[in-house]
Structures are given as structure tokens and as C-alpha cells.
Amino acid sequence: MWENGCDIYYDVKRTHIPPGISQRAKLRLFNFIVNMALRLGILTEKLGISHRYTIWRAVFKGIPPKKTSKLIIKDLVFDNVPNAEEYGVDPNRIAIGGDSSGGTFATAICQHLVTRKDLPKLRAQILLYPFLQGVDFSLPSYQQNHSVPVLFRKRLLKHGSVYLTGTYFNTEDIWKSAHVPEERRAKYSQWISAKHIPDKFKTRGYVPVAPAPFSTESYKKAKHIFETMFSPLLAEDDIIQQLPDTFILTCEYDVVRDDGLLYKKRLEDHGIPVTWYHVVDGFHGIVCLVDYGPLEFPGTRSSLRHVVHFLKRV
């Protein structure tokens, strides 16, 4: 965990084992990469809705800027998988998940791990309102929810610029897709386009926007956004078709709603089982408000229960 400038790691060996478990090797392990400094695993255990079914390992990775994608992958890929049985975990029952940008990393790590034939295949991935692409910021959800708290479109791009380059830069051209090379647009539109979004998600307003002319300057500033570490939706088909069972949670009033919808379609097109839960009155970050008194919303616990039910099933 990166907290107050210090590295703190929650090791599998320190994970609480529920009482009454006699066959430790049959336990599940769920690695959750939290975008915010909220210990989701601890909170859900307090509520009594997670420890009965699985071990939650909450990992917050606020990787500081200026790290390359390869370094981030190295930081986030868990090296204990080959030794899972030593910690009482069935290596064939390991899942990974995350919320928001944590969902981005969880998706990228899952894609990376399918290339590691020396490791057991992950059993599942759980993605809560993930950011999955940096190609088109004019999708219906980006238009409809551009000023909906807590994640404004402008804030998303602002923080993204810092993450990619270590400094803020003008993202206006990025909004208009001027950073996307002409020769890539046809390929990317196979996966990232409003035409792949169901019409019912366009009823709150959507106006097709033609991309701006390509800008070399914009591309140079944002070129790393096309790496699958930051845009997992751009992974090739041979990677997508190897992915495990997937749970995707989307929220209606969320700027990245359509990222989740597009990834859902991409997975289903390749025959990957997808469990999808859409929070019709939800917004970005709603799950992290569990057990926060008046700040907790009706969709918070129901969303977590759907996650738990999915974990029970897999």
C-alpha cells in the first residue's frame, strides 16, 4: 500500500482465516486494487458479507507519476501465486479486481497474466466502474455525465495527464480525439465506438462528434495512453479470448459507464462469461461509501452483495 509516501504491504500470510475452516487449501483469494485510500476488504468484513465466502486482500496502489507501464506491471503483479498453497489458498481459485483506476490495473494485470504460462490461470476478474480506454472521450456517458460528481470528465483527463507524464497539460485536444493517429482510428472503432452502446443508454442525450484532425503534438503528450496498461480495451483478440469469468459493475451517472459496457461486449463477443450489474441510480465511487452512515447510498450494499454472490459462484 502506498500511503503518505510510504510503502505498506498487506501480505497473504497476514490475511485473516475465517474460523471453522479445516481445509485451508480450498480457500479463495481475491486481490482487490483499490483506487481510493479506503480499505474495502476490511469494511466488507466488518459488515459480515465477505469473510464467510472468501479472503479479501485489499491492496491500494497509488503508484506515483513518472513510472513506466512495465514498472507498474511489476509492482502490481503478485509473485506469490506459485506459492499460493503455502498460504492456504487454492491456486486455481484466485481472483483479481479493482474499482475505478484500480479496475484499470486489475484488467491490465489479468491480461498480462494470461501470457504467463508458468502461473495458474486466474479464476475471475471483478471490475467496478473501471476506466478502460483513452481513445474516445465523446461516448454517450462522457457527454451525459461530464459534470456529474465525483468524477468529472475534465478531472479524469487532468489526473490522467499527470499520471502519464508527471505534469498537467492542456487536454482540450484529447477530448476531441486529436491524439489518435488517423491510421489507427478504423481499428480502434471496432471496439470503441458509440455504435456498440445500446440505444437505451443514449436516451439522456447523445450527439455524435467527429474526431478532430490528428495533432502530432497531442499524440506526443498522450501516446502512452494507447498502451494496454492504461487502455485495456485495446488488447488484441488473442489476449481477450483467454480471459477468465468476469464481473462488471457500471453506474448510470458515471462518466466511464460506457467503458464498462464496451468491455462487456468485447468479452462476450469472444465467449467469455460476463456477469453484469448496472446501478441505475449509481455514480462513480458508490461502492466505497459502504458503512459511511448518511453518505451511504441505497445502491452501495446491493452492489457489494452482487460482487459477493459472484465470488461465491466462481
Q: Which residues are catalytic?
A: 100, 254, 284
Dump strand ranges (E) for 16-80: 27-34, 55-60
Structural element, H or E, at residue 253: strand 245-253
The answer to whether 288 touches 100, Cβ cutoff 8 Å, is: no
Which of these, 228, 264, 261, 270, lies nearest to 104 by C-alpha position?
228
The answer to whether 287 touches 56, Cβ cutoff 8 Å, is: no
Q: Which residues contact 11 (CB under 8 A, 6 or more apart)?
A: none
Residue 170: all three cell numbers together? 492542456
Rg (CA), the chain: 19
Q: Is 258 exposed, middle or buried (0-12, 13-18, 19+ CB in 10 A)?
A: buried
Task: Give the Å distances, CA to CA, from 203 to 144, 194, 217, 259, 260.
Answer: 10, 13, 35, 17, 18
The answer to whether 56 touches 30, Cβ cutoff 8 Å, is: yes
The answer to whether 308 touches 47, Cβ cutoff 8 Å, is: no
Q: Cα 79 to the chain's mean position, in Å?
A: 20
Dist. CA 173–CA 137, nearest whole Å: 10
Dist. CA 105–CA 125, nearest whole Å: 11
CA quadruple 110, 107, 299, 304: dihedral, nearest 10: 20
